[in-house]
Amino acid sequence: MRLRVPPGAPAALKVLAAAAAAPAPVRPHLGGPAERPQAPGPELELQLELDSGTVLFSPNAICQYFYLCRGEEPTDLTTQWLEWEATELQPAVAAALYLQLVQGRAGPDALGVLQPLLAHLEQHLARSGTSHLAGDAASVADVVVWGSLFPALQDETSLPSELQVLRSWFGAVSAWEPCRAAAALLPEALRELRSHLAQHPPHLPGPRREPQQDEESPERALTNDDIAAAVEIWARGPAALPPPWEPRTPVLPVEGERNVLITSALPYVNNVPHLGNIIGCVLSADTFARYCRLRRWNTLFVCGTDEYGTATETRALQEGLSPQELCDRYHALHADIYTWFRISFDHFGRTTTPQQTRIAQDIFQRLLARGFLLQDTLEQLRCESCGRYLADRFVEGTCPFCGYAEARGDQCDKCGKLINAVELQNPQCKLCRGTPVVTPTQHLFLDLPKLEGRLEAWLERTWAAGEWTANARHITRTWLRDGLKPRCITRDLTWGTPVPLDGFRDKVFYVWFDAPIGYLSITANYTDQWERWWKNPQQVELYNFMAKDNVPFHSVVFPCSLLGADDNYTLVNHLIATEYLNYEDGKFSKSRGVGVFGDMAKDTGIPADVWRFYLLYLRPEGQDSAFSWADLLLKNNSELLNNLGNFINRAGMFVCKFFGGTVPAMALTDEDQRLLARVTLEMRQYHQLMEKVRLRDALRCVLGISRHGNQYIQVNEPWKHIKGDERDRQRAGTVTGVAVNVAAALAALLQPFVPGVSAAIQGQLRIPPEHCGLGPGLTCTLPTGHRVGTVRPLFQKLEPEQVEALRQRFGGGQAKQPPPASAPPPAPNTSAAPGDPKLIQELTEQVAKQGNLVRQLKAAQVEKAQVAAQVAKLLELKQQLALAEGRSPEVPKGKRKK
């Protein structure tokens, strides 16, 4: 193994300490780059090249790999600490070091930034009673957390005297030989780090920064007030639950209500979305949209395919289709994928519509009239072999700033700087690998410098009130720090929105001016009252979901277009950006057959809700994460099957087995009341996290509730008490009744994440629809006398050989095949007996989804043969539903002869 450790890399200490602790057979290259690889990444990036040629970039993943070499498997606790260090501790330490090294503000100022996190460490160590973070022996968690803290603290005397347990831990780890050896490199590293921080200042938290472990955390000790409040909510029963939200058609803003408009970045129509695309945009947005509806917020969720541009033209030529035919084909494919993943769009549209042309041209005319456009000569690269001007992403060459050899014509993936394609050294046409020629041509530019003042004033107001992820704020600050420059908004193409200006009518709008306007036009295709959403900032909250590479276009370019148009447009209030999801040890690649893509997931035999769960469980919120088949097996079998599924199945089965399917009488003891309080605190934390769009952490609250439930059942052993005297039987009844009500609460909490599983729980427990809402805490939703239905296991175990076969299948050996125009919906379990509520629920959902797909295809005016095929599937599903309900299926009527 070969480890590259650039000077001043913030993560150098923990990586070198982990390598020494393992000990790992690694050859470190200190102070300079390794011979290979030169991979994209920031200036101070570590790289570990394995003997197999695989490269690891994440410092925490490298540390964990060293410990795997030592034979130590990660545990849930060590994984949680690594996530906490990456998402909470790292940003705070960077801010503290900036204050110390760059601003010279050592002591209380720098330590104050870390104070809430240090208190969290102190509380954990004191409460756990162990000498280290994950037990009595030093683990990868101790090395990683120590490695982050040491540059800011350097010794335990820097810690406040009241943090005695933390001081003891920090001193012991610092004295450990692997850490002491790594710390010897610190002085030189800090000099390099100071220079880096001066050029790239981190986000400094404000003076009112809240502790990460806040007062509502379920980990804190329960108080009498907690217990009393939980018992009061429990006693209110279904009255504590809000009624289901019944959306109007179409969904429109309502004065006096919370009106939430949700968009996810428009997937490009040429690309079949892979798992990273799905979690970064549509799945994250869908999870939040479902939560909003559960909260009865007036919610509209729109998305659609981005269909214009050179890539579409080129792909259409390759496949012998017109651009419109290609878009029709791929739009149907995208719609089918998202339907299978249970994405609950209110409308899934597209950008190739008359409304897109009308709205984009109107914004353009308003910008032109207000003096925010300018004309200039643009030198473009033209490929004479292909006979066309090359779009930026169809040019590749050497970055003029950092020398990266595979920079694109619009941006360098290594240093992150924006590039004009003509600035590339040694440019190549990605289509034919020929050398393009620089050709001057007149174009129109959005005058971003003239709009910079308006943008900064708007950002200041929005950031003060909105939820923007840390990476979204940082990327936007980077653009502003470097100064805005005019941005070209036209291209020499034919497939796009026409430019309505003499002298430019042979051009179309550039995709990054045109595509975000698709949110507006897609809404306009949904309702002719679209302006009530998009020209109503006083009453509408706008959430944008995307991966981090889309941030500047949504935080700078698009807002500037709308600010310059000056027509009271609704601008983004909450910009939610993820990092990247990688595949195993590399990247997704359709051409190389590496990774799982949306049109393949349904063929794995793994249910859609399992995919949803796992993607949301590892959602890359604070740093890049990686899909792993081994981890998918682990999370399915441990979290879904043994934790969540086990608890819900046991709770329901006890009702059926011991009490004839009827919820028994309950007489709460102090222990039961403590469980109510603990679950209620978890639910409050869940709400706080969901409102901040911290979806991954909120999901962990749900799993925490099922853990509390399993522990409660295990300690109270109702299967033993049911065999005892009347008092014991009453105890068994109370435990069973409380447990099945916790299961009912989980059905509601799970709905945003795994809606199919949620519906199955509701069906099995026969929870009335009006009692499926999210309350303020645990309520007695299923009172004494309520009858449950047939209880079945919710999840199936994944076997190692099954997962290994899938890993091999998606590891690079997939055949290259053109995607089908559509794919059939997942087959329901038709082997169940007629009248089975689970089967009826599955088929009802399938009929609704298939009907929605048919309507979308008809609205998109795709080929009649494609529509007919989907209609046939819809009729087949309706016949299956009729049989399941005990009705005679209707025979489809043919056309009457004239």
Question: Is it the case that residue 207 has pLDDT exceeding 50?
Answer: no
Q: What's the whole-model pTM score?
A: 0.69
User: Is the pLDDT reported for residue 833 higher than 50?
Assistant: no
What pLDDT sits at residue 222? 83
pLDDT in the model for residue 741: 97
Among 572, 566, 600, 609, CA closest to 813: 600
- What pLDDT does residue 26 have? 77
Nearest to 546 by CA among 293, 263, 337, 338: 263
Residue 820 has pLDDT above 50, yes or no: no
Q: What is the mean pLDDT of residues 695-715?
A: 94
Q: What is the pLDDT of residues 646-673, one digit of tens each?
A: 999 999 999 999 999 999 999 999 999 9
* Spatial distance between the Cα atoms of 703 and 497, rounded to a whole number of angstroms: 48
Query: What is the band of 463 on the pLDDT scale with cuts at 50, 70, 90?
Result: very high
pLDDT digits (tens, 9 = 90+) for 69-88: 877 877 778 888 887 888 78
Above pLDDT 70, what percent of the chain? 86
Per-residue pLDDT tens digits for 862-884: 556 566 667 767 777 777 776 66
Q: Distance between CA atoms of 286 and 264, rounded to whole angstroms?
A: 9
Nearest to 337 by CA among 806, 856, 750, 814: 856
Structural contact between residues 14 and 147, judged by C-beta atoms closer than 8 angstroms: yes
- Mean pLDDT calculated for residue range 749-773: 95
* Residue type at position 143: V
Which residue would you say has higher pLDDT here, 320 or 710? 710
pLDDT bucket at 544, cuts 50 / 70 / 90: very high
Greater pLDDT, 427 or 12: 427
Q: Which helix (H) or strand (E) holds 429?
A: strand 425-429
Query: Do residues 338 and 332 lie in contact, with contact meaning Cβ atoms separated by under 8 Å?
Result: no
**Residue 198: pLDDT above 80?**
no
Contacts for 141 with CB less than 8 Å, ≥ 6 apart: 77, 78, 81, 82, 85, 132, 133, 134
Least confident piece of the model among 89-103, 266-280, 608-622: 89-103
**CB count in 10 Å sphere of residue 895:** 5
pLDDT at residue 557, rounded to an integer: 96
The alpha helices in 200-322, defined as continuous H runs, are 224-236, 275-277, 284-294, 310-319
Residue 698 pLDDT > 60: yes
Paired tokens of 248:
């109007």
Give the pairing type, strands 437-446 and 425-429.
unpaired
Residues 25-53 pLDDT 10s: 777 776 543 333 333 333 346 788 877 77
Q: What is the pLDDT of residue 462?
A: 94
Residue, of 816 and 675, whose pLDDT is higher: 675
Residue 212 confidence (pLDDT): 41
Helix (H) or strand (E) run with residue 440 in it: strand 437-446
Q: Give just the sign of the alpha carbon dihedral 39, 42, 44, 46.
A: negative
In Å, how far from its chain's centre is CA 154?
Answer: 36
More confident residue, 421 or 526: 526
pLDDT at 754 over 60: yes
Report the distance separating Cα 683 and Cα 861, nearest Å: 45
Decide which of 208 and 638 is more confident: 638
pLDDT at 528 over 90: yes
Note whether 120 and 213 are within 8 A (CB).
yes
pLDDT confidence of residue 304: 97
Token representation of residue 750: 């799970």
Say which residue, 494 or 341, is predicted with more confidence.
341
Q: Which residues in 611-646 are b (16+ Cβ under 10 Å) and which e?
A: bbbbbbbbbbbbbbbbbbbebbbbbbbebbbebbbb
Instruction: Identify whether 37 is preceded by a cis peptide bond (ω within 30 of 0).
Output: yes
Predicted local distance difference test score (pLDDT) of residue 150: 86
Contacts of 339 (CB under 8 A, 6+ apart): 825, 849, 850, 852, 853
Cα–Cα distance for residue pair 666/673, rounded to 1 Å: 12
Average of per-residue pLDDT across 836-865: 70
The pLDDT value given to residue 219: 57
Per-residue pLDDT, averaged over 239-246, amounts to 87
Q: Please give the angle made by the CA atoms of 216, 694 and 709, to the nearest 5 degrees.
A: 55
Q: Both tokens of residue 54?
A: 């695989």
Mean pLDDT of all residues in the chain?
85
E strands within 185-280? Answer: 259-264
Q: Is the pLDDT of residue 593 over 80?
A: no
For residue 428, is pLDDT > 50?
yes
Where does the pLDDT of residue 891 fall: very low under 50, low under 70, confident under 90, or very high at 90 and above? very low
Torsion angle, CA of 274/280/285/291, rounded to 10 degrees? Answer: 100
pLDDT at 21: 84
Read off the amino acid at residue 318.
Q
